[in-house]
Amino acid sequence: MSLARALASLLLCTTLSGCYVMQAANGQLEVLRRSRPIEQVLADPQTPAATRRGLELTVAARSFAETELGLPDSRSYRKYADLGRPFVVWNVVATPEFSVEPRRWCFPIAGCVAYRGYFRESAARSHALKLAMRGDDVSLGGVPTYSTLGHLPDPVFNAMLGWRDVRLVGTIFHELAHERLYVAGDSEFNEAFASVVEEAGLRRWLQALGREDERLKLEVGTSRETEFTQLLRETRRRLKHLYETDLPDADKRAEKQREFGRLQFEYERLRTAWGGYRGYDVFFERRPLNNAHLASVATYHDCVPGLQRELEQAGSMQKFYERAEELAKLSSRERRRAVCRA
């Protein structure tokens, strides 16, 4: 897609959603301007060795995704964009003070999503402050990559090349899975589908390369993630029950803080059981916890166990995709009943 054509497409959206989409359009145009074909970057003798290695790994992962996982042969991850910053966008998530359900915003193409993304951190902070002053619980976090679902040629960003191999390759599998199947307005199903494809793809990739030690580490990491996620889910469940009671607001606030204190305590016990592994400490650092920090737990994990069972029963990636496409045709309620936790 030419820059002029992309500009026309993005500016059309601005008439639909105003200033928010305008900043997204401008940010996306910056990404397009800074994107270079990977083969050009690899052919450049000035390309740093670390960048070269990361892009070579990207090319190999892209090929594996197509040939072994049945993921799209699209324009994504065939270019490289160095934005000169650690994050591409900053996402704002918000919930009411006494709710664990995230607020949703609806846009063309993507449908309704549980966050707002900004290409400038200052704009994200401004919007987060506005929501907080209104009384919402708010979280703000930097995101080093994102997907346009194949509508534009998503590049590999500079921040991604500093990751471990497993994270870089897994991210490529995850984002290409979004291009393989995406249900507008159903973030929970979309993220779970992509997560299941990512995990299955990484297992196959590591096995194909004979990197058994890393595959075993992946299994341990997956087990820890499941335990930590369950801890967050339990906190979220108890808070949901608390908010549905008839307690006065002042009592709800006090109990809410006790629940977050309990979460910290339970995590420390879990960390001890892991032999002191501190990989999730960052979740608790430099911020008071609130409902918004738990919002993504449902978005990324509620439907994962059900879709994992679907993959096991399918027996192959292709049959799994076919089953997921059948689920995508159902109503949101029917889909949740079929594969997502209540």
Residue-wise pLDDT tens digits, 131-157: 999 999 999 999 999 888 888 899 999
Instruction: Mention every residue, 6+ apart, whose C-beta is less than 8 A from residue 65.
Output: 71, 172, 173, 176, 201
260 in any annotated domain: no
The pairs formed by 177-181 with CB atoms below 8 angstroms and a separation of 24 or more are 177/71, 178/147, 178/149, 179/71, 179/72, 179/74, 179/76, 179/147, 179/149, 179/150, 180/70, 180/71, 180/72, 180/321, 181/321, 181/324, 181/325, 181/328
Alpha-carbon gap, residue 308 to 302, rounded angstroms: 11
24 in any annotated domain: yes
Q: How far is CA 228 from the centre of its chain?
A: 17
DSSP state letter for 164 = -
259 in any annotated domain: no
Structural domain of residue 200, as residue ranges? 3-88+144-210+303-339
Q: How far apart are the first and last CA of the chain?
A: 42
Instruction: Mention every residue, 6+ apart, whose C-beta is less than 8 A from residue 226.
Output: none
DSSP state letter for 44 = -
Q: Residue 111 forms beta bridges with which residues?
A: 107
200 in any annotated domain: yes
Q: Which pLDDT score, from 0 to 100, does residue 256 have? A: 97
Instruction: Give how far Cα 38 sits from Cα of 28, 50, 118, 223, Å.
Output: 19, 14, 26, 35
Alpha-carbon gap, residue 166 to 29, rounded angstroms: 29
What is the SS3 assignment for 257-290?
Answer: HHHHHHHHHHHHHHHHHCCCCCCCHHHHCCCCCC
The number of domains in the chain is 1
Alpha-carbon gap, residue 110 to 183, rounded angstroms: 9
Alpha-carbon gap, residue 294 to 235, rounded angstroms: 8
Mean pLDDT, residues 242-270 taken together: 97
- Cβ atoms of 17 and 107 within 8 Å: the answer is yes
Q: Which pLDDT score, from 0 to 100, does residue 106 have? A: 81
The count of C-alpha atoms lying within 13 angstroms of the C-alpha of 287, restricted to the half-sphere facing its C-beta, is 14
Place of tokens 């108890």: 238
Mean pLDDT, residues 185-193 taken together: 88
Q: Which pLDDT score, from 0 to 100, does residue 286 have? A: 79
- Cβ atoms of 10 and 101 within 8 Å: the answer is no
pLDDT per residue as tens digits for the range 33-60: 999 999 999 999 999 999 999 999 999 9
The count of C-alpha atoms lying within 13 angstroms of the C-alpha of 128, restricted to the half-sphere facing its C-beta, is 20
288 in any annotated domain: no
Alpha-carbon gap, residue 80 to 51, rounded angstroms: 10
194 in any annotated domain: yes
pLDDT at 111 over 80: no
pLDDT per residue as tens digits for the range 260-314: 999 999 999 999 999 999 999 999 987 899 999 998 776 677 788 899 999 999 9
Residue type, 71: L
138 in any annotated domain: no
In the chain, where does DSSP find H-type helix?
3-17, 19-34, 38-43, 49-69, 121-133, 165-180, 187-209, 212-243, 249-273, 291-301, 304-314, 317-328, 332-339
53 in any annotated domain: yes
Share of the chain above pLDDT 70, in %: 92
Q: Which pLDDT score, from 0 to 100, does residue 302 have? A: 78
Q: Which pLDDT score, from 0 to 100, does residue 6 have? A: 41
Instruction: Mention every residue, 6+ apart, whose C-beta is less than 8 A from residue 282.
Output: none
Q: Which pLDDT score, from 0 to 100, does residue 186 have? A: 87
Q: Which pLDDT score, from 0 to 100, does residue 5 have? A: 41
